[in-house]
Every structure is written in structure tokens, then in C-alpha cells.
Amino acid sequence: MGLVQAAADLGILEYEKGLDNMGASQPMEKDRRYDVVIIGGGPAGLTAALYAGRARVRTVLLERGAPGGQLLNTEAIEDYPGFDHITGPELAQRMADQAVKFGVDLETARVTAIRQHGDKKVVETEDGEYLADFVILTAGGEPKKLGIPGEGEFQGRGVSQCAVCDGAFFKEEVVAVIGGGDAALEEGVFLTRYAKKVYIIHRREHFRAQAILVEAAHKNPKVELITNSIVTEIKGEDGQVKEITLKDLVSGQTRPLAVTGVFVFIGFQPNVQFFDHRDHVEHDPLGFLVTDSTMQTSLPGLYAAGDVRSQLTRQITTAVGDATTAAIDAVKKLEAKKHEPTPVPVDIYGPTRPDLVGS
């Protein structure tokens, strides 16, 4: 049973039906003014929605597809507290249900831009604009793909982009790591805790990773480095990876390599393409947003949580932690803003009422 079918069976895909109440036929009927707009419906977004909803602030979560994000592509999760084993779609369903329970609007929308308008934020979508006091960006990102046959077919069934998440599923098995940067070398060595053999495959002669990481991989008896080679196809049986096809870029020859896991680390692209060029939002060299301890970015009122944020690691647990902090801080700032005293107009020409003259 595919993950999309599993999501449908659990009812997640039903959110796409009827929740998209942003059609062009009713642009004037819907009030799109919110206290908080959350962009992205993965674990971070759904957690932010939960906490904002519990605080009884008017909140909408905008997601271009079904709620769950990368969870919908995850076959099994065994590192989320409280669950020995749970599927990604099931966890996504539980998170979405809980957010809706507290009155959060979940809407299907493709966000195109975020911009400042006075002291408000305007979130532009393909179907109209939303106005908010605070925006929590939880749009995550996308691991870069190899773009080869079998990659999509075996995603979550042997193909992974997270050794920490999935390494334990490959005890005493043979796996391949694809990439030549720090992440590929670090994750490759990490996988030796579980796998009996790890191939690290790089398309160039020399690795881009730090020398100390390359040295650690060379010294590890479970690691074999394969350079000047690319993977051209991933093959499997009964829904599981069994083999990859290697092509030597020097000789041009191809050969099969038996593996049961393929870990792809060729880059990760955060979804941060929403900002007006006049609103510079601080980011790290890779494009991930930089935040303070409350998850607020350099643009006041804009928070970032989860995979879109610059941080040490990207896990479900770190995403929900980020989002909890962001939502609570936004709610506190919103309450403070609502209770600010109304400024008293000052007459720069002095008092004009007769009873005040000479007082």
C-alpha cells in the first residue's frame, strides 16, 4: 500500500476537499484577517497551530497540499517520544486533528510572497491575500534529488535523506551514501553504527567535505569510498531496495552494487523564496533563516521554525520544539500589543478649549 493511499485511508487527503475555501468565486465573502498566519503544514506548522489555537488567537495554517509535509513520505517513525512505532501519515493525521480541535483554520493555498504593510504582514497566495499581525514560517525545504529511475519509487522503502531517522532500520545490512560534502561523510560514518558495510559514492575524485571527516571515513573499516562514480538507477523487489547501478565516469562502464539502503545527501533547499527584495531577512550561507532564541527572524513579527531555520539538526522533535517557542512568543507579543494604551493625541498648538486657557 503506497503512502498516498495510506494517507487517504487515514482521511488526511480529505483536508484538501472543502478546506480550500479561498476560491475566486468568493473573494469578498471571506475575512482573511488573522492574528497569526502559519505557512507550511508539516510537524512544525501543525505544532504552531496547536499552540496558537489553544491560546484562542485567530489562526490559519496555509499548506499547498495535504497536512503533514515530509511525514507523508515517511513509512515508519521510531524516534518520536511516546511512540515505539508510528507511520508518518498517522502522526500527521493526529497532529492535524488536534490543531483543528482548537479552532485553527486549515486551508489549501500556495503562498507566493510575504511582505510588510505598516505594522502588519501580508501573505500573498495564488488565490488572494491574508493579513496578519504575526507570521510563522514552517515551510520546510526539499532535499535535492538525484533524478534517477527508482528514486521516487523507493522513497521511504530504502531511499532516505536522514541517517539519524532511518539508520536503525538497516542493522547488519549494506547501504550506500551518495554525496561528497560534510553531510554525506558525517552521515556515512554514523551509519556504521548499524550497517555492516557503507559505500560512500562521490562523482568527483576528491571530496568537498572537511579533511578530518574524509580521514575518519578512510579509517573506518566498515566504510568504502567510491569516487568518480554516479548512481544511475535504483532497483528493488517487493517494494524494497535491492541494488543500485554505478557508472564510472572515467571508464564509462556500469556495474551493479547490491545494497538495501540508499541515503542521498547532495543538498537541501529551504523554502524561503517568499520575501520582497526590500525586506532583507537574515540567513546563513546555505539560505536557512537565522533566528533569535524565540525563533523570531531579523524581520520583526516573522518567525521561522523547523527545517527552514538555521540549526544543528533537522528532526521532527526539533521542529515541534521550534514551533512551540515561536507560537508562544507570538501569542505573548500579540496580547501585549492588544493591551497597549491608546496614545493620546497631542495638540502641538497648545490648549484651545476656553476652560483650559490659563490653567
Active site residues: 162, 165-166
CA-CA distance, 243 to 237, in Å (whole number)? 9
Helix (H, G, I), strand (E, B) or coil at 281: coil
C-alpha separations of 179 from 186, 241, 262, 304, 332 in Å:
11, 18, 11, 28, 43
SS3 231: strand
Q: What are phi and psi of 90, to 5 degrees?
A: -70, -40
Helix (H, G, I), strand (E, B) or coil at 215: helix
Identify the CA nearest to 39 among candidates 60, 57, 18: 60
Distance of alpha carbon 316 from alpha carbon 44, whole angstroms: 8
Facing residues of 177 across strands?
200, 263
**Neighbour count for residue 318 (Cβ, 10 Å):** 18
Q: Return the biggest CA–CA distance within the chain.
A: 99
Contact 295, 326 (CB under 8 A): yes
Classify residue 145 by its DSSP letter: P
Q: Distance between the two ends of the chain, CA-based, in angstroms?
A: 84
